[in-house]
Amino acid sequence: MDNHELFKTGNKDHAQLGFTLLELIIVMVILGMMAALIIPNLSIREGVVLKAQAREVIARLRYARRSAIVEGKQKVVILYQGQKGEEGEAAHDTPKPKADPGHWVSRHAFVECHRALGDDKADNAVSDQKEETTACEITFFPEGGSSGGEIILSDQDYQAKITVNLITGKIKSDIFGNEDEQEN
């Protein structure tokens, strides 16, 4: 048998040594499609933590409103600005987030509270409290109303605005990507 017969295309003795160009192109297309699906989702993670914290605040507010109506007693929700100790651990003076359903501590998000218009008593109470850890306090009444106000959680370029209606106590929320999107 001579060498010419060994390398004929139909010869069964011919062994394949590597990949064809078509196989390499198919693998590259599959890798490109996977990268196109995964890479855009990495930037979404920045706002995920803020959205989760906004959902936690909304859940606490709704629970307090329902409890006030059902039990016939005022319920107060206090939101704390999370603080970090020297070693990066939570400060000891802020309560544990799960300790009381009426208390919530932010994690890396800045908490800002704007009181409802005409609520002078609440404005004075907030200005008298010069604690750096307490950011916001909202009271729900047995009739369904509340002290009202607007809570803004912000983290990096994202903001979550939670509005509590003064008369009905209903809670609404909006999450913005950055300052440009807020204006639209």
Which pLDDT does position 103 carry in this prediction?
Answer: 81
Q: Give the chain's domains with CATH numbers.
A: 46-183 (3.55.40.10)
pLDDT over 60 (residue 33): yes
Question: Residue 84: its pLDDT value, please?
Answer: 45
* Burial class (CB within 10 angstroms; exposed 0-12, middle 13-18, buried 19+) of 29: exposed
The reported pTM is 0.60
| CA separation for the pair 161, 144 (Å, rounded) | 21
